[in-house]
Amino acid sequence: MLKKITKYNSFYLFLIFLFVLWQSRFLFIPGLFTFSDESHLANLHQMIAALQSGQIPPRWAPNFSYNFGHPFFNFYYLLPYLVGSFFYLIFNFSLILSLKSIFFLSLLASGIAMYYLGQKFFNKSTSFAVSIIYLFTPYRAVDLYVRGSIGELFGFVFMPLVLLTFINLLKSKHFSSLFWAVISLSGLIISHNLTILIFSPILLLLLTIYLFQNIPPAERITSTIRTIIAFFLSFLLSSFYLLPALLEKKYMQTGTPFNPIDHFPFIKQLIIPYWGYGASVWGPTDQLSFQIGVTNLMIVIIVFLMIIFSKFKYKSLAIGLLIAFFASVVMMNIRSLPVWQLIPIASYVQFPWRFLIITTFTTSLLSGFISLHPKHNLKNIPLFLAALSILFTYSYFQPHKVQKVDDNYYLNRFFINQNSQNKSNLLSDVYQYNSEDYLPLTIWTSARPKSLLPKIETSPNTIISEYKEISAINYQFNLDSVEESTVFINNYYFPGWQAYIDDKPVKTSPSGPLGRISFQVSNGQHQVLLKFENTTIRRCSNLISLLTFFILFIFFVKTNFLNYYRTKFISKNPSQSKTNSPNSKNIPR
């Protein structure tokens, strides 16, 4: 009976679901556990506010920095917050429940994705073991219960999906393979820009190895061309995010809050099991765990010995994964500092220990290759290693502390006057102690606001009336001035903020150390409209993404419909197929 059940994917998927359910059990109790990146709740709140203001795609977060706002979503990853917004807006979830839903879905989806990637090389039971090891690695517990890093959690979903879909693309000429490869890579790009930064070299290495190991020489050129096209289309599809982030980055002050040199883990921290709920600091006294994992290190040793002493299927790919693993370990060591300094973009990774993402991915997938040993029956070893992985890490999958709090607890911490009903008449006392250093300033700003200011300021001889906030990015008011005056809007100036006086556009400019919006108004009575609009770069990038998706979707539907039609109808009526053949004698000449 059991042997019969284990033939079905649904059996293993159900087991993965059960393990994820246990792993995330603290998501199902009231309140929320403490974690270091609690600002994700504020980011989610601002994503919802941006969507409600009509921004598609979102760019401007309206309530950060005493309601000065911030072009946060012009540069920050989007997909986790879009998923959370879906739960909030469609199912009327709270912010906390929406965030918990993101956590749970990311765990479940990553386990399923790794299971199906494993099936490209191994049988179902081994693929299940690979998935479990992927889920029960120490760094996964760090990301969930210590850091609460939703970007990296989504990265763990898309890394196996990207490798899986691109391997399919190398083997298949069907348009569906191209479509899903583009969708998966685009998903990774907008899920976590730092994961794509460190995963891309690994992806190229593994695809190159697979190309030369598994694709016939006559098909390698066309397979390579398909892959290049997929990368290009992924860039086009995600250009609504990538192009503004790259081309409008010049308007933001450079630098990151954390210096990578302060966050290189020591070798012993990577090897010796340790657990803590603190922060990453300089030196070996971190209160954050950087361990690769006991089981994961065992996997590396076993596969390394297999590579030296035996031949097995996909050996070259196993070598590639080992190279990726050791390269990641090197990048986490301070002796690699010259490499970090040589690559300027590497500083955006901030924490060298982020390469634990790669060690987790590579060791999990490597575990499956143990089952391919040709001389010894090692088919059950991956399952044994999966059990060990659970045994060594189960105590990590729990929070340091659970707080029975609601949305307002976090909104009071991260905003001056926001609550679960949007704006509050009461000002938050605790917000003034909140640091917003993670929000980079614009190049026109030298100081952050320190108190809540009126949205509009002007000269004493100017009267402002009938102020109306049409949306969080759209203000309207009447102005009556006896002289030409300057109007100040207490929002950070950023390209896209446009003022209209009596329906005519006027130039806006940054003003003062706060870099707030200002524009000139002539004497007399005027109606003023201020709104945040798309720049030419944003409009073009939105159009590129929209057209790319439309074309991909049309071809995807067309090719799949034709395949469905041929399979369901023509194959069932061979006589009709012959009748309709161009060589048929029944066709009139």
Query: What pLDDT sits at residue 344?
Result: 79
What secondary structure letter does DSSP report for 439?
S
- CA 527 to centroid of chain Cα atoms: 42
> Residue 315: which residues within 8 A CB-CB, separation 6 or more?
307
Query: What pLDDT sits at residue 375?
Result: 77
Query: What pLDDT sits at residue 585?
Result: 41
Digit-coded pLDDT (tens) for 517-531: 999 999 999 999 999
For residue 310 the two structure tokens come to 């035996």
Digit-coded pLDDT (tens) for 304-319: 999 999 888 899 999 9
Mean pLDDT to the nearest integer, 332-351: 87
Closest C-alpha among 195, 169, 164, 170 to residue 365 = 164
Alpha-helix runs per DSSP H in 193-284: 193-214, 220-237, 239-247, 267-271
**What is the Cα–Cα distance from 304 to 240, expressed in whole angstroms?**
43
Distances in whole angstroms, Cα of residue 280 to Cα of each of 389, 391, 439: 24, 26, 20
Which residues in 306-332 are b (16+ Cβ under 10 Å) and which e?
bbeeeebebbbbbebbbebbebbbebb
Q: Are 32 and 40 in contact (CB under 8 A)?
A: no
Alpha-helix runs per DSSP H in 53-149: 64-67, 79-90, 95-118, 124-135, 138-141
Digit-coded pLDDT (tens) for 96-125: 999 999 999 999 999 999 999 999 999 999
- Dihedral (C-alpha) 573, 578, 580, 584: value to the nearest 10 degrees? -160
Mean pLDDT to the nearest integer, 334-355: 88
Query: What pLDDT sits at residue 435?
Result: 83
Mean pLDDT to the nearest integer, 446-452: 93
- Dihedral (C-alpha) 440, 446, 448, 454: value to the nearest 10 degrees? -120
- CA 587 to centroid of chain Cα atoms: 57
Query: What pLDDT sits at residue 586?
Result: 43
Query: What pLDDT sits at residue 5?
Result: 78
Percent of the chain with pLDDT over 70: 95
Pairing of strands 474-481, 456-457: unpaired
- C-beta neighbour count of 494 within 10 angstroms: 25
Query: What pLDDT sits at residue 1?
Result: 64
Query: What pLDDT sits at residue 245?
Result: 96
Mean pLDDT to the nearest integer, 222-251: 97
DSSP 506-565: E--EEETTTTEEEEEE-SEEEEEEEEE---HHHHHHHHHHHHHHHHHHHHHHHHHHHHHH
Sequence ranges of the domains in the chain:
2-403, 456-533
Query: What pLDDT sits at residue 583?
Result: 47
Query: What pLDDT sits at residue 587?
Result: 37
Q: For the ranges 135-144, 257-266, 458-467, 531-540, which has the lowest average pLDDT?
A: 257-266
pLDDT band at 584 (very low <50, low <70, confident <90, very high): very low
Range with top average pLDDT, 173-177, 423-427, 548-552: 548-552
Q: Is the pLDDT of residue 539 over 70?
A: yes
pLDDT band at 343 (very low <50, low <70, confident <90, very high): confident
**What is the Cα–Cα distance from 41 to 416, expressed in whole angstroms?**
15
Closest C-alpha among 88, 48, 46 to residue 71 = 46
Digit-coded pLDDT (tens) for 368-417: 999 998 877 888 999 999 999 999 999 999 999 999 999 999 999 999 98
Count the residues in the chain: 589
Q: Is the pLDDT of residue 570 over 80?
A: no
Closest C-alpha among 196, 353, 193, 194 to residue 260 = 353
For residue 146 the two structure tokens come to 């210590």
Gyration radius of the chain over CA positions = 27
For residue 561 the two structure tokens come to 């419909």
Q: For the ranges 35-39, 156-160, 581-585, which has the lowest average pLDDT?
A: 581-585
- CA 69 to centroid of chain Cα atoms: 22
Digit-coded pLDDT (tens) for 43-100: 999 999 999 999 999 999 999 999 999 999 999 999 999 999 999 999 999 999 999 9
Mean pLDDT to the nearest integer, 537-564: 92
pLDDT, mean over the chain: 92
Distances in whole angstroms, Cα of residue 397 to Cα of each of 139, 144, 280, 433: 10, 8, 19, 31
CATH number for the domain running over 456-533:
2.60.40
Closest C-alpha among 404, 434, 440 to residue 418 = 434
Closest C-alpha among 395, 380, 428 to residue 128 = 380
For residue 572 the two structure tokens come to 């069932």
Query: What pLDDT sits at residue 427?
Result: 87
Percent of the chain with pLDDT over 90: 79
